[in-house]
Each structure stands twice: as structure tokens, then as C-alpha cells.
Amino acid sequence: MAHLVTLIAGDGIGPEVALAAERVIAATGVQIEWERVELSGDRIRATGESLPADVVASIEKTKVGLKGPVTTPVGGGFQSVNVALRKKLDLYANVRPVKSLPGLHTRFDDVALDMVIFRENTEDLYSGLEHEVVPDVITSIKVITRTASTRIARAAFRFGSRHLRKRVTAIHKANIMKLADGLFLRCCREIAADYPHLIYNELIVDNASMQLVTRPEQFDILLMPNLYGDILSDLAAGLVGGLGVAAGANLGDHHAVFESVHGSAPDIAGQGKANPTALLRSSVMMLEHLKEMEAAKRLQQAIEYVYREGDSLTPDVGGTATTDQFTAALVRFLKS
């Protein structure tokens, strides 16, 4: 039986990495019926809709989406597509695994990193509540609620329990934002009490940032509000090779969207230089979500094999291969 999945290729290098993902997933033997919808900067500018209705309707029907990068303007223009999609479908959990790849050289070659970031996805400063009080004086409101804090904490602890993790670390700035981050911590502590077999601790966000780049191997699951999660998930991705190899999932109670978290890289679009690894690692998460566990395992093994061998890697990770050559190497492994 085929799984029905929405495919959002995006723009820039999006169509190239999306095509690679289609080819590689097909090679696992899993049957996917793709429902393709267009979501790009050009379409948004032409229609004036940051989140066209047909995109939302498709994911509401399929319940699962695979999404390439979509260009978002900085300092003006239309609203972030990612933020709009997360709010519209209540995708409250942003889950970002941070795991070392064999053969990919980083500053932490001597440490096998394996942590998972759980970022609350719907509120905090991303609520978009901004106001110009008087000319050149802006307020931006940080929103923290018990409902959102409790459900992201529960998602993190549930994941830790199911995947035999050992520790959950809540990241905060409650020494300064005593009410907002204080509420977030109270919710985390309440959920932690239901999982006594998992170690629970807390770190102030600036201290956590320092420790991530000095002793990242100590971390297992990191749990945090939206803004800290946005920043620290990118920092953590840098420890294992950058956003080009970082997976990401946006999960709700009824829908899930798996995405590459890097930008659209229009400067290399169409040149055969795009690295599909991020979207492929997100595809591993998608296959697990679809209960295709064996296929997910084989895809993960294929990615690790190609990186370990090192002769089919794209330029951004030190190789000379094209997008097509990298994809072909994965397909050969999966069909062998």
C-alpha cells in the first residue's frame, strides 16, 4: 500500500534536493504517492499569500509533508513560510537530531555526537506581536503558555523514554525572565516527575551555548522555548558539519512536516552542486513516522556508507561529486 505524502520542493536548490530524495526513497522499496504542491518565493510574491490554501489543504489531507527550502526575505517582505505553516497546522514540536556522520571531518572528529533538540514551535517571540509605541520605539512580545510548554516537554520526555535516552536538559533564561521562562521551567519539572528514569537538569541559555562548543558530548536531549531552540539548533548543526547535513521535523498531534533546515542557496541552484543530505536525513525521520522502520534504517546506513567511503560527496563537504553522482551512489547501495 502506498503512502500519500505532500511534496513541497521549494525554490533555489529545493527542486534538485527534492528530486534526489524521491529517487533515493524509491530505491528503499517504500511506495510513496507524492502530491506535489508549489511553494516558492516567486509564487508568494505573485499571489501575496505566504501560505497558499492548496498547500495547507494538501497537508491536511495527507497528514505528512516533505519540504525543501523556501526563500524568506530578511527585514521585510512576506512572513516566513515555516512560521506560517507551523502555526496553521499547530506543528508545535520542532525536532532536530544532531548526529555525527562518519567520514565528515569537523572540529569534533574525536567525539561521536548524538543529541536531539526539542524546540517549542508556535509561540515565544515568534508570536509576531510587535508594536511601534512611538516612532523608533518597538515592543516585541514574548508569549509563553502552560499549554505549549507542557506539550513540548511531554514530547521530549516521551521521546527520551521510547528511545532509551538518559538525560533531558531544559534551556532557559529564568534568572532574567522570571515569569515567562519561569513558567516554562515549572512545566518541564512537572513533566519530568512523570519520568523518574530520565535524568533532568536545567541550564541557562548562555551557559548552554558555551558548553555546546566546549563539551557537546555531555548532551542527550535538549528542551527549550522557540527562540533559544532556533539559535542553538543551528549552533549544534555546526558541530556535525553544518545545516547542509542537518535533519528537521515539525510535528503536531495530527500532521507532520519533515524539512531541510538550510536555505535555498540560489547562488548554486541548477549547477549540480546541491547536497541533498539534509532532506535525506529528514526523509529517514519521515519513514520512521510512516512506520517504515526497515527502510529508514537502510537509508540511514546508505548515507553513512557514502560518507564513510568519501568518493561521492558534494563540494560543500569536501568532495567533487555532483548532486546526481551523490544520489546515484546512495541508490546503488540501497539496490545492492
> What's residue 326's pLDDT?
98
> What's residue 327's pLDDT?
98
Helix (H) or strand (E) holding 61: helix 53-62
Helix (H) or strand (E) holding 272: none
Which of the residues 114, 220, 234, 324 is marked catalytic?
A: 234
- The yes-or-no verdict on residue 321 having pLDDT over 80 is yes
Set of cell numbers at residue 59 = 497537508
Is 136 among the catalytic positions? Answer: no
Q: Which residues pair with 260 in a beta bridge?
A: 247
Q: How confident is the model at residue 278 (pLDDT cuts 50, 70, 90)?
A: very high
Query: What integer is the mean pLDDT of 215-225?
Result: 97
Measured CA to CA in angstroms, residue 118 lies from 33, 67, 94, 172, 232 at distances of: 29, 19, 6, 13, 11
Which of the residues 11, 173, 200, 307 is marked catalytic?
A: 173
Measured CA to CA in angstroms, residue 112 lies from 201, 239, 244, 297 at distances of: 22, 10, 18, 19
Query: What integer is the mean pLDDT of 129-140?
Result: 94
Is 267 among the catalytic positions? Answer: no
User: For 90-120, what is each residue's pLDDT tens digit?
Assistant: 999 999 999 999 999 888 777 889 999 999 9
Which of the residues 194, 206, 253, 267 is marked catalytic?
A: 206
Query: What integer is the mean pLDDT of 46-62?
Result: 90
C-alpha 231/C-alpha 212 separation (Å) is 12
Percent of the chain clearing pLDDT 90 (strictly above): 85
Domain extents in the chain: 1-91+246-336, 107-239
Query: What integer is the mean pLDDT of 178-201?
Result: 98
CATH architecture of 107-239: 3-Layer(aba) Sandwich (3.40)
User: For 69-80, what is each residue's pLDDT tens digit?
Assistant: 987 654 445 567
- Check for a shared fold between 1-91+246-336 and 107-239: yes
> What's residue 78's pLDDT?
52
Which of the residues 92, 126, 200, 305 is marked catalytic?
A: 126
What is the pTM for the complete model shown? 0.93
Which of the residues 124, 200, 230, 307 is marked catalytic?
A: 230
Buried b (16+ CB within 10 A) or exposed e, 162-173: eeebeebbbbbb
- The yes-or-no verdict on residue 126 having pLDDT over 90 is no
> What's residue 18's pLDDT?
97
User: For 242-259, what is each residue's pLDDT tens digit?
Assistant: 999 999 999 999 999 999
Query: What integer is the mean pLDDT of 48-58?
Result: 88
- The yes-or-no verdict on residue 202 having pLDDT over 80 is yes
Decide if 162 contacts 125 (C-beta within 8 A). Answer: no
Is 234 among the catalytic positions? Answer: yes
C-alpha 224/C-alpha 36 separation (Å) is 33
CB atoms < 10 A from the CB of 204, how many? 15
Give the lowest-confidence range in 4-8, 37-41, 208-212.
37-41
> What's residue 75's pLDDT?
44
CATH architecture of 1-91+246-336: 3-Layer(aba) Sandwich (3.40)
Residue with cell string 524521491:
22
> What's residue 79's pLDDT?
61
